Amino acid sequence: MNDTWTIQAALEWTVGYLERKGDENPRLSSQWLLSEATGLSRIELYAHFDKPLSMEEREVLRKYVARRGAGEPLQYITGEVGFRHISVKVEPGVLIPRPETEVLVSEGLAVLPAPPKRIAADALASDDLPAGAVERSEAAADGTAGGAASTVEEDLLVAPDGKENGAARKAGSIGLDGTPELLVADLCTGTGCIACSIAYEHPETRVIATDIAPEAVALARKNAELLGLADRIEVIECSLGESVAAELIGSFDLVISNPPYIPTAVLADIPKEVSDFEPSLALDGGADGLDLFKPLVAWSVRALKPGAYMAVELHETCLDEAAAIARQAGFIAAKVVEDLAGRPRILVARKPFDEDEERR
């Protein structure tokens, strides 16, 4: 107990321990755990190799390493995960965001009208701007906000003033620059990573996010608040869209979802790190992986405006059947998009215009 633990010694010991426990990337895990225990960035760890750990830091690190050695996901231990251009809090009981879902957000943003390049610059001086709006504007201005916002160079993107109640505003409401706002539904929101990314990257969106799990609803609200986006994101506890206000049905510009989609038989083969720690409610998609997708499609075709899109993440074995279900429900232009590993993962489909609108 009286031995001096330097950062280098602690790192090497942790790597060896996690390697013996079967961690797939023990060095990366060790860096993250030591970073969390000491408050240093991963780069700073290497710049302070000779720095001794305090007894408090050693005790925190021991607890983290024991949890990781037992197979607990790293994200639950650190309590945070990077997702696209934001970081979101993660907690046990709520599904950890995956890189595949970043692709889903890209596809959702791609089918929305592009955000305006400039919203009145004097808005930056407004006392009514929500916390974080200026920082998001500066990030968009230098290109770090990415996605839809990354095309903005010197122009500034800022959030609306937030005086009204986020997504509860009726369809057709007007944004800060006088353009109509876009209404997005994020069903099965989990951490809120999709809703927060869309609101962060596209300043003219308002998002209604839903989840059936109270733990997820509370966490999604927390993430929206921490990111300064609570004025444009409303989180509702319900199954799919069943509690969305009736007056909003038919006015959505996008329905996006990462529902439970793993076929039940496949769940037996997923890594224990997932099956033992992440909620089965957020994973199990039923026998064909499409138990939630079917009612989701039925709701989406009613909720969307004519010409608007649905984008859904699904299991790689389900995409062809899902596209057929979407077409039967009335969607057209169904497109399957591959994930970062080249597997079919995302279904994007459009609600057709009605005949009168087509003639106009």
- Strands 344-350 vs 332-338: parallel, antiparallel or unpaired: antiparallel
CA–CA gap between residue 252 and residue 300 (Å, rounded): 9
Annotated binding site for substrate: which residue ranges?
258-261
Cβ within 8 Å of residue 49, ≥6 positions away: 6, 7, 8
Residue-wise DSSP of 152-164:
-SSS--------S
Residue labelled with tokens 């609101």:
199
CA–CA gap between residue 242 and residue 316 (Å, rounded): 27
DSSP helix, strand, coil percent of the chain (3-state; round to 5): 40, 15, 40
Handedness of CA 150, 152, 155, 156 (dihedral sign): negative
Annotated binding site for S-adenosyl-L-methionine: which residue ranges?
211, 258
Q: How many helices (H) and strands (E) does the chain have?
A: 14, 9
Annotated binding site: which residue ranges?
211, 258-261
In 78-87, which positions are buried (b, 16+ CB within 10 angstroms) versus exposed (e)? beebebbbbe
CB 312 within 8 A of CB 293: yes
CA–CA gap between residue 23 and residue 280 (Å, rounded): 22
CA–CA gap between residue 279 and residue 90 (Å, rounded): 13
